[in-house]
Amino acid sequence: MSREKAIGHLAAAAAYAIFGINVVVCRDIATDGGMEPIVLFSMRSLVAGVLFWLVSLLMPKEYVPKGDLLKIAGAGIIGLFLPQLTFLHAIVHTTPVDLSVMSTTTPIFTMFVAAIFLKEPITWKKALGVALSFGGILWLILQSTFGGHGASETEPIGIAFCFANYIVFALYLGTCRNLIARYSVVTSMKWMFLVAFVISLPFSIPHVPTTDFGAVPTHVWWEVAFMIFFSTFIAYWLVPVGQKRIRPTLVSMYGYLQPIIAIAVAIWAGMDRLTATKLLAATLVFVGVWVVNRSRAAGDAPKKN
C-alpha cells in the first residue's frame, strides 16, 4: 500500500471513530441541552467555519474559479447542511444503538450512487447483500417502533431522518470526490462551512431568543465543545483527506467503526442496551454489507496494479 493510500485509510478510520463517539455526545446534548437542532447546527458550522478560515490565513492562497465555488456551495449543502441537520433531528427520536445499526447501510447507498454516477456495476451478490441488510433494518424498525417497549424507543420520524442522513451523505461521497480532490482540505471546508452557516441562519434565528443558553448545564457545554472541535472541525478535515486518496466506497466502509464505537459507548454510559432483537438485526445488516463488499472486491481484483 502506498503512503498516500495509507494516509487516506487512517484519516477515514479516525473520522468515523470520532463520529461514533459523537452519536452518544449528541444524544446527551439533545436530551439535556435545551437547544433546537437547527440552533446547535448553526453554532457548529459557525465555529468550525471560523477555525477553517483562520487556518487558511496561515496557508498559501488558493484560487477557486466561480464555477467551482458554485459546485463547492452545492457540496456544502449535501455534505454538511443536510447531513448534520438530519442527524441532529434523528438522534432526538432514536436510540444510539438503533441509529448506529442503521448507519451501517451508508456504504450500500454509496454503492447505488457509484453505480449511477461512476457506472460501477451492481451484481447479484450486491443485490443479495442489500436484501439481507434491509431485512435486518426492517426487523429493527418493526421491533423498535411497534414492539411496545415504551416512549424511549425509536420513533418513525427518527428513522426517516436517519435514512435521509445516510442517503444525502452517500450522495456527497459519491459525487464530490473529484471536486474535493482539486483543492486543499482547508479551502474546500472553509467555503462549505460558510455556505452551510449562511443557509442555516433563516431557520435558526427565530429560535435564538427562546433558547435559554444560561440554563444549559456545564457538562453539556463541554459536549458541545467536543462536537464542534472534534466531530466537526477535526473529523470534517479528515473525511476530505480520505476522499482525496481512496475511493468513496472505501471511505464509506469505515462507517462500520461508527456503530461499533457508538454502541459500546452508549451501553457503557447506560444510555441504551443491546437486546437479542437488536443483535439479530445488526448481524443481518453486517452480513449484508459484507456480501456487498466481497462482491465489490471480487470485481475490483483484476484492476489492481
- Distance, in Å, from the CA atom of 84 to the CA atom of 196, rounded to the nearest integer, reads 10
Dig out the grid coordinates for 261 from the structure.
Answer: 464505537
Cα gap 272→257, rounded to integer Å: 18
Q: Is the pLDDT of residue 12 over 90?
A: no
284 versus 46: the higher-pLDDT residue is 46
Picking from 29, 12, 162, the residue whose alpha carbon sits closest to that of residue 97 is 162
Highest mean predicted confidence (pLDDT) among 133-137, 215-219, 268-272: 215-219
Cα separation, 18 vs 241, whole angstroms: 15
Look at residue 248 in the predicted model and tell me its pLDDT: 66
Residue 194 has pLDDT above 90, yes or no: yes
pTM of the model as a whole: 0.72
pLDDT band at 133 (very low <50, low <70, confident <90, very high): low
Name the band, by pLDDT with cuts 50, 70 and 90, for residue 292. low
**Domain around 220:** 3-303
* Amino acid identity, position 194: L
Distance (Å, whole) CA 8 – CA 245: 5
Neighbours of 246 (CB within 10 A): 22
Nine-digit cell string for 179: 471536486
Total count of domains within the chain: 1
Rounded Cα distance, 175 and 125, in Å: 24
Cβ within 8 Å of residue 94, ≥6 positions away: 102, 154, 155, 158, 159, 161, 162
